[in-house]
Amino acid sequence: MIASDESMISVEDARARILAFFHRLDVERKPLIDALGQVLAEDMVAPFDIPPLNNTAMDGYAVRAGDTTGASDGSPRSLKVIADLAAGYVLETAVGAGEAVRIMTGAPMPPGADAVVPFEETDEPLRGLNEAAKRSANVQVLKAAAPGANIRFRAEDVTAGSVVIPAGRVVRASEVGVLASIGLTHVPVYRRPVVAILSTGDEVTEPGKPLLPGRIYDANAHAVAAMVAKYGGIPRLLGIAKDTVEDLTLKIREGLDADMLVTSAGVSRGDFDIVKDVLAREGTVDFWTVRMKPGKPLAFGAFKAPDGRTVPHLGLPGNPVSSMVSFELFGRPAIFAMMGRGDWERPVVKAITRDAVRNMDARRFYARCIVTRGTDGRYYAALTGPQGSGILTSMSAANALTIIPEEMVEARPGDEIDVMMLDWEHAP
């Protein structure tokens, strides 16, 4: 079935139609580090308190606060040191009146003690740097300690049985840390999608092979594969299909064990018919013209895999910048949806354009630009060069895309515009 749609549709409309085809994938158990960027499928519950016991936040002396009342440099309180306690060890002996335990950060508080006096508030530093000299049968406390001083209390971070990280949260470094702290080695997360990527076109050549006259190297499959990997998916390169029904059919079938198939080129007028024929026989497809620049032609459809699954297909335009921008706007949300992530929206900030940006054909203009922060604290956007949709180096120089609305004919230098940040790392 073919539903050719000649009228232009908005980016939002195209994205909504696409996202309707995607749902989150099944759950897998992954080692913690490998789950980075994936979404937790279950609430993570703490099996015990953190910290598990009251412990000291400082190196110092565990004391009974009452024994230090009134202590000062001029009037120290002398306490008997009954033990030396390192982190990782528990002392059963209680600290009695007039007694102290030399204690290291993280060591559990011994019974009887209710405060910790840091070394700096005792005479220990005055005894010199020599390890043996630091220790003494008695310690002089030079400052009064309030009850509870320098103690980290049991369960002050996490209570046993509470949810430390809820289902739906993306695993970042801090989640890895929290999950490790409750003793986990593996976590249940939504699986990463496998994305099969196919370039089409008689002129397209695999990098590494000799380049015949009139041919070009395949930029699209590799750029898209890199985006898939960066956004959390698993790219699978299918190679390059010639502009023939037979080759295209063969290569597309090879990709049907993936969760999604992405093709590039063949969706604009010139090649339209071949792709259309193949897609019409192997599945369903819509050809759209999206009100955006770069990019305009876009195909979206679904194939029936031999195992009965429906494999969504995103057909990107051939021009390398169009292909990347289209994948950014439509492929990235699809990957996020399969991973159970709803946060695909990029940050959009206001920036002052340094250049004139002309927009003559009533499409939304995603011009490649570099956004930097001025000394006045505001963001500034400068175009990264010629905006032809074949000029990939100006994509490489960019960290953002302008969002010039469809109806805006020109943004003049000094005007405030919206920019969509692709990459904060490169915004110096």
Residue 55 makes contact with ligand AMP by CB under 6 A: no
Q: How far is the CB of 218 from Mg ion (least distance, A)?
A: 12
Tell which positions 154-183 bind ligand AMP, by CB under 6 A: none
3-state SS, residue 262: strand
Q: Which residue is closest to ligand AMP by CB?
A: 318
Residue 118 makes contact with ligand AMP by CB under 6 A: no
Q: Are 126 and 105 in contact (CB under 8 A)?
A: no
Among 128, 270, 374, 413, binds ligand AMP (CB under 6 A): 270
Q: How far apart are CA 225 and CA 194, in angstroms?
A: 11
Q: How far apart are CA 336 and CA 271, in angstroms?
A: 30
Which one, 82 or 321, has the nearer CB to ligand AMP?
321
Q: How far is the CB of 269 from ligand AMP (least distance, A)?
A: 8
Structure letter (DSSP) for residue 34: G
Q: How far is the CB of 378 from ligand AMP (least distance, A)?
A: 37
Among 108, 193, 201, 333, binds ligand AMP (CB under 6 A): 201
Interacting residues of 386 by C-beta distance below 8 A, sequence separation 6+: 394
The pair of structure tokens assigned to 373 is 């922060």
Residue 319 makes contact with ligand AMP by CB under 6 A: yes
Residue 318 makes contact with ligand AMP by CB under 6 A: yes
Residue 271 makes contact with Mg ion by CB under 5 A: yes
Distances from the Cα of 238 to the Cα of 197, 229, 322, angstroms: 6, 15, 20
The stretches of 231-299 forming alpha helices (DSSP H) are 245-254, 272-282
- Among 103, 100, 109, residue whose Cα is nearest residue 141: 100
Q: How far is the CB of 237 from ligand AMP (least distance, A)?
A: 11
Residue 262 makes contact with ligand AMP by CB under 6 A: no
Residue 264 makes contact with ligand AMP by CB under 6 A: yes
Residue 220 makes contact with ligand AMP by CB under 6 A: yes
Residue 317 makes contact with ligand AMP by CB under 6 A: yes
Which one, 51 or 331, has the nearer CB to ligand AMP?
331
Q: Which residue is closest to Mg ion by CB?
A: 201
Total residues binding Mg ion (CB under 5 A): 3
The pair of structure tokens assigned to 428 is 């110096």
Which one, 190 or 288, has the nearer CB to ligand AMP?
288
Which one of the spans 45-53, 102-110, 311-319, 380-388 is the region binding ligand AMP (CB under 6 A)?
Answer: 311-319
Residue 290 makes contact with ligand AMP by CB under 6 A: no
Q: Which residue has tokens 């699954």? A: 309
CA 248 to chain centre: 34
Residue 315 makes contact with ligand AMP by CB under 6 A: no
Total residues binding ligand AMP (CB under 6 A): 19
Residue 108 makes contact with ligand AMP by CB under 6 A: no
Interacting residues of 377 by C-beta distance below 8 A, sequence separation 6+: none
Which one of the spans 173-181, 229-237, 268-276, 405-413 is the region binding Mg ion (CB under 5 A)?
Answer: 268-276
Which one, 179 or 252, has the nearer CB to Mg ion?
252
Among 199, 289, 384, 399, binds ligand AMP (CB under 6 A): 199
Classify strands 379-383 and 348-353 as parallel, antiparallel or unpaired: parallel
Q: Are 167 and 226 in contact (CB under 8 A)?
A: no
Among 247, 271, 277, 415, binds ligand AMP (CB under 6 A): 271
Residue 247 makes contact with Mg ion by CB under 5 A: no
The half-sphere exposure of 371 on its side-chain side, counting CA atoms within 13 A, is: 26
Distances from the Cα of 118 to the Cα of 168, 178, 208, angstroms: 42, 28, 65
Q: How far apart are CA 14 and CA 16, in angstroms?
A: 6
Q: Are 238 and 197 in contact (CB under 8 A)?
A: yes
Q: What is the CA radius of gyration of the chain?
A: 32
Q: How far is the CB of 272 from Mg ion (least distance, A)?
A: 10
Tell which positions 199-228 bind Mg ion, by CB under 5 A: 201
Residue 367 makes contact with Mg ion by CB under 5 A: no
Q: How far is the CB of 365 from Mg ion (least distance, A)?
A: 24
Q: Are 267 and 220 in contact (CB under 8 A)?
A: no
First vs last C-alpha separation in the chain: 50
- Among 204, 396, 224, 206, residue whose Cα is nearest residue 323: 224
Answer with the entry of ligand AMP, Mg ion, none that 257 interacts with (C-beta below 5 to 8 A by kind). Answer: none
Backbone angles phi, psi at 258, to 5 degrees: -85, 175
Number of Cβ atoms within 10 Å of the Cβ of 162: 13
Answer with the entry of Mg ion, ligand AMP, none that 38 interacts with (C-beta below 5 to 8 A by kind). Answer: none
Footprint on this chain of ligand AMP (rule: CB under 6 A): 199, 201, 203-204, 216, 218-221, 264-266, 268, 270-271, 317-320
